[in-house]
Every structure is written in structure tokens, then in C-alpha cells.
Amino acid sequence: MGAEELERGNWGSQLDFLLSCVGYAVGLGNVWRFPYLAYRNGGATFLFPYILMLIVAGLPLFFIELALGQFASEGPITVWKMSPFFSGIGFAMCIISGVVSIYYNVIITYAIYYMFVSFVNLDGDLPWAKCDRINWASTKCRDEPYPRFAELNETEAMMAIKDDVYSDSCIRDKMMNMNFTTELSKEFAGMESYGVLNSTVIRSDHFKDCAMPFVSPASDYLSQYVLRLNEATDFSDLGGISLKIILTLALAWLLIFFCLMNGVKSSGKVVYFTATFPYVILIVLLVRGVTLEGHLDGIKFYVIPKWEKLLDAKVWGDAATQIFYSLGVGFGGLLTMASYNKFKNNCYRDAIMVALINCGTSIFAGFAIFSLLGHMAYVTNQDVGDVAESGPGLAFVAYPDGITKLPAQSLWAFLFFFMILTLGLDSQFAMMETVISGISDLFPHTLRKRKVLFTFLVCFVGFLLGIPQTTKGGMWVLTLMDWYSGSYNLMFVALAEIICLIYVYGFKNFSEDIEMMVGHKPNIYWLATWIVITPVTIAFIIIIGAVQQTDASYSGYMFEGWVQGIGWVMVVVPIAAIVIVGIVQLFRYGYPGAFKPQPTWGPALDENRTGRYAPILPAYTAENGMNGDAKGVNGGYENASYVTDSEKIHVRL
């Protein structure tokens, strides 16, 4: 093992890396976003554009990041020595991953809190199983599903209208418009007799739209008790800090710190559990789901194709963005994890394997989820489409509500939220390691020796920046960050990566670098996608995203204009970093120097620097100084004077 590997670290084994990539790619999006998008966009029909987008965009970008990180053994900031003008890509990746990590750990916080609540109630019902009108339930909270109005007797109908379960004015209007005898219409219009409700003519679904809006106990429990969102006014008054949330958030960050304190040596072992446990739970949920009444309706909703949907550009846009976010390209996590690989690792095989596992997991999770949603729709007398949600609403409202209908509900709740925790941890590990490694590679002699302390400081800063999300209106802040932080900027990062590696550094050079690692050059598929198809697809995603863009909102609350402005700042800052750093590098190296590989570009270890990469100089020290003739430094590139004093700290031992 070389000195660089000892200093920077490596995965304990190939399986460590593979499971870390699987855990990173298989995240919350596979469980709470993909099934919803499949339902919304034509069920099984959605799989066609989804798989096509994997082939033309997801997999090519996935392989690029794995190959780049492994070849140079550099973090996302310092890896761009093949063309310093594009160094801003690394800063953009770290900014995006850092911002996403802040709110992502709040989601983990919610999962931990629900786990605790479920655990302490193992012998009884879950606290959100019934409306607790004394402590948290609102007047709209309902324990039982709506009865069908046409099936009520006279007394029940009167009580339903009196209790605002059904709207009397809506029923009156519908009755007046129905073709009844004059006597019956007059009777009902005057609300003098409800005997007409037993009429065969009225026993239909004409009144189902007259049901008054209500919320489930799970919904009220989240908003009224866990978040206490009702105590916040708007973004100008988020309310005070919730003690239980901020304490759980501190626990979540401590958990992240202890898993990352020793770098990939520690996180690489944790993923043996966190990357595999979700599959156990998904299998259990599927087996249980298909034994429940109504499950078939949910699965039909999921798998029956609606081919006309393929003509809708929005379907293709959703498929492209889901592949993009699900695989995690553009965040820097893949590049960071690959940078800890052995140089000869078969990253070509890993890229294909992990991408296929990720997409297969999404499809499999859909069956488990929609079997449960079908049962939820059955017991609540709703359509499957009415209970299918995306994002936190599915994980912390729809699922908890459905779990209360299961036997041993507390045990199921604990296992479900433990799965949410493990899914979140894997992705959080990679994003945090991106930030930590990116900054550490800038100051290797200072920070690598203080890995534990630096990791703690980064986690502590993340905790401080997450405090606004522990306020009563914290869910609004989380929603805003989720809405904007990883959107257009990811597309521009990916596009900049393609331009840098394929058009500036050159596909030929990049192919030769890959051949040094895996033994063969990329085939025609990679050539076609990298040069033409993938850039065009990314441009398509950007255009579709711009057309479909809507302002951020939460449960009917459309955020104010100035709040949307803050959101767009999160979009623009990473893109601005690419441009600003590029301009700085252009002044620093001049033209065309800023676009050419620097002398220190190439494999980290001398033993791997073959071909056009000659071994680089020993590290600069006060004792031995710098080799004046720069013999063997340029690796085939002209003008070894590009090695500046500021770069000497990056020269490998």
C-alpha cells in the first residue's frame, strides 16, 4: 500500500465500496418518490421512459463520476487538475451536498423520533391511532373513515350532517338537481324529513363529493403535535424551537459523527447493515401487504399501463429527473466514494451493477408500497389515488395511518421508521463525506491529521444550520430547501462535467485513463452517450424543468415571494461557483493553461503512473527543496513550471 493510501485511506474491501454505493443510490426517493411518480404517470407505462433515461443519462453520468474519482484518488474539489478552469464543479458539488445534508438529517430526525414513540408503545396502540382531542387533535380530525351517505339510515344521515361529516348545502343542491317527484324534492329542500334517504333512487354515489374535508389522526399528529405547525404563522414568524425536535436532531448528528469519524473505514462497515436492512423490511411489507384486503387494487393502480401517457412530455421529464436524483449524480458522493478505491478496481462493472440494483429496488418498492396503499384505500373508503402521496407526506402521514390498520401496529411502525432511518443514513454518509473529503483534500497536511476533530466540527456546523428546521414552522424551511437546493444546479453540474471531461480534456484521453484501470477502453455505447446523447438529455431535463417549475408550497400554503427568492439563491450559488472559480483559474493560469492538464494530474501513486504519466516529484519539504529540473513531473505535458508553491501541498508522496 502506498503512502497516499495510508494517508488518505481506502475501503476495507471491495464489498464496502459496493454496499456504500448501493446505500447511497438506494435512498428515500426509491420509497417515497418513485412509486408516486409511477402512479401519476401511467403505472407500468412509466417504466419505459424510466429505463430509457437510465440508459441515455443516468448510467453514463454514474460511470463518469466513478471512473474520475477512482483514477485520481482525489475529492470533488481537487480532482479537476485535468482542466483547472472547471474546478468550480467541485465547489458546487460540496455546496449542494452540504445544503442537502442539512435538511436530510432533519428527515432522519423525524424517523428517529417516530421510532422512539413506536418503541415505547409496543404494548399498546400508536399515539396517532386515534384523535386525541385533549392534547393535539383538531376539529377536523376523524378516527373512522367516512360512511357512504347513501348507505345511512335516517338517524345516521341527520347525525352526519349535524357533525359536519357531510355538507347539508351540497346535499340540498344535488337533491334539487336530481329527477325526483316534486313532493320529495320539496321535502328534502326544506330539510323537514330525512326519510327520503332510504329511497332506492338516492342510494348511490351521488353524494360522495359532499363529504367535508377531514384529516386523519396521523396527519394531525404530525402537524399538531410533532411539528406544532399550527403555532407558526408564516416564514416571518416560524414560532419557537421545539425541544423534542432539537434534541433528536442533536442525536441524529451525533450518530452521523460516530459513523464518519474514522472516514470510510468506519462508514464502510456500517453500510453492511444500513444498505441491506431496508430490503428485509420491504420484503416483509410486501408479504404482509398482499395478504390484506384491497391490495390488488393498489397493485393494479401501479402496474396497469396507460399508454397514452407516453405522449405527455411531463412523463419523460419526471422519468429523467427521477433517474438523475435516484442515482445521486452531480452531488459529488459517487466521485468521493470512488476516490477511496484501489486503482485497478473494476469501476465499469460497479457502475452497471449499482445502477441496475437501484432501479430494480425502485420497481420492487413500488409493489410493496402500493399493496399497502390499496389496503389503506379500502379501509378508508377512498380511491388509491387519494391516498398516494409523495415525499414526507407518504412517510410520516400515509404510512403511519396505514400501519394503524395492521396487527402489532407498534412493531410494524418501529420497523418501518427504522427502515427510513437506514435509507437516510446511507445517503447522508456519502454527502457528508463529500464535504469532509473535499475540504480535507484542499488542506491535506492540516486536516487529514485531525480527521476526527474536523468531522465533529462539520457535523456541529450542520446541526447549527439545521436549528431553523426545529422551529414550529420548520417543515416549511425543510420543504423550501428540498424544493430548490438540488434542482437546476445539479443539471448544470452534470453538464459541466460532460463538457470538461469529454470536450475539453477529451474523450480519447479519458478513455485511455479508464483503460489503465479496467484493462479496456469504453465501447461505442459510452462514446455515443457521452458525446451526444447525454448532453442532449440533460438539456431536455433543464428545459422541461423550467416549463414545469412551480413555486414552493406546503399543504396549500404558497410561500411568499421573498421566500421563493431565498430558494432561488440556493439554486444560483452552486452555478455561480462554477463560473467564478473558472474566471479565477483563468486569471491564475492564463489561456490556454487553465484548460490543460496540470503536472500533478494523474494517478496518485507512482506505481500507477505509466504511459504518458511519469512519476511525479517527491513532496516539497524544507529539507530537500524542489527538484529544479522538474524531471519527470510533467508526465508528457509541456512547461513543468505549472507546479506553483500553492500546489506543492498536493504533490503525493
Q: Among 174-178, 186-190, 597-601, name the one with the lowest average pLDDT.
A: 186-190
* pLDDT at residue 75, rounded to an integer: 80
| Residue 377: Cβ within 10 Å count | 23
Give this prediction's pTM: 0.80
Q: For the residues 31-40, what does the mean pLDDT come to? A: 75
Q: In 3-state terms, what secondary structure has residue 256?
A: helix
Give the span between the Cα atoms of 589 and 592, in whole angstroms.
Answer: 8
* pLDDT at residue 95, rounded to an integer: 92
Give the span between the Cα atoms of 77 and 288, in whole angstroms.
Answer: 46
Nearest residue to 88 via CA among 586, 601, 459, 644: 586
Give the span between the Cα atoms of 331 and 97, in whole angstroms.
Answer: 6
- The better pLDDT of the pair 163, 79 is held by 79
- The better pLDDT of the pair 338, 32 is held by 338
pLDDT of 2 over the 50 cut: no
**560-572 in b/e burial notation, b at 16+ Cβ within 10 A?**
eeebbebbeebbe
* pLDDT at residue 203, rounded to an integer: 40
Environment class of 208 (CB within 10 Å of its CB; exposed 0-12, middle 13-18, buried 19+):
middle
Q: How confident is the model at residue 195 (pLDDT cuts 50, 70, 90)?
A: very low
Q: For the residues 634-653, what does the mean pLDDT come to? A: 36
Q: How confident is the model at residue 43 (pLDDT cuts 50, 70, 90)?
A: confident
* pLDDT at residue 626, rounded to an integer: 43
- The tens digit of pLDDT for each residue in 379-415 reads 656 666 666 565 666 678 777 877 787 777 888 888 8
pLDDT of 202 over the 60 cut: no
Percent of the chain with pLDDT strictly greater than 70: 77
List, in order, residues 6 or more apart from 86 with CB less than 8 Å away.
80, 496, 499, 500, 504, 578, 582
pLDDT of 238 over the 90 cut: no
Q: How confident is the model at residue 189 (pLDDT cuts 50, 70, 90)?
A: very low
Q: Are 187 and 193 in contact (CB under 8 A)?
A: yes
- Identify which of 179-183, 486-490, 641-645 has the greatest average pLDDT: 486-490
Q: For the residues 173-199, what does the mean pLDDT come to? A: 48
CATH number of 3-125+222-585: 1.20.1740.10
* pLDDT at residue 569, rounded to an integer: 92
* pLDDT at residue 88, rounded to an integer: 92
Give the span between the Cα atoms of 427 and 488, in whole angstroms.
Answer: 20
* pLDDT at residue 148, rounded to an integer: 57
pLDDT of 339 over the 60 cut: yes
- The better pLDDT of the pair 72, 631 is held by 72
Q: How confident is the model at residue 477 (pLDDT cuts 50, 70, 90)?
A: very high
pLDDT of 572 over the 60 cut: yes
Q: For the residues 286-295, what does the mean pLDDT come to? A: 81
- The better pLDDT of the pair 33, 165 is held by 33
- The tens digit of pLDDT for each residue in 105-127 reads 999 999 999 999 888 766 677 88
Average pLDDT, whole number, for the chain? 77
- Domain ranges (residues) in the chain: 3-125+222-585, 149-210, 598-653
Alpha-carbon distances of 146 from 143, 160, 402, 463, 532, rounded to whole Å: 9, 9, 16, 42, 54
- The better pLDDT of the pair 323, 265 is held by 323
Q: How confident is the model at residue 213 (pLDDT cuts 50, 70, 90)?
A: low
- The better pLDDT of the pair 84, 285 is held by 84
What one-letter code names the amino acid at 266?
S
Q: How confident is the model at residue 181 (pLDDT cuts 50, 70, 90)?
A: very low
Q: How confident is the model at residue 461 (pLDDT cuts 50, 70, 90)?
A: very high
pLDDT of 483 over the 50 cut: yes
| Residue 603: Cβ within 10 Å count | 24
Give the span between the Cα atoms of 355 and 343, in whole angstroms.
Answer: 21
pLDDT of 340 over the 80 cut: yes
* pLDDT at residue 207, rounded to an integer: 58
* pLDDT at residue 359, rounded to an integer: 82
What's phi and psi for 199, nearest 5 deg? -70, 140
- The better pLDDT of the pair 210, 335 is held by 335
* pLDDT at residue 420, rounded to an integer: 87
* pLDDT at residue 627, rounded to an integer: 43
Q: What cell does 575 get?
A: 452555478
Find the angle CA(23)-CA(24)-CA(29) to the nearest 5 degrees: 95
- The better pLDDT of the pair 168, 477 is held by 477
Q: Are 484 and 570 in contact (CB under 8 A)?
A: yes
Environment class of 121 (CB within 10 Å of its CB; exposed 0-12, middle 13-18, buried 19+):
middle
Q: For the residues 497-518, what does the mean pLDDT come to? A: 91
Give the span between the Cα atoms of 223 and 479, in whole angstroms.
Answer: 14
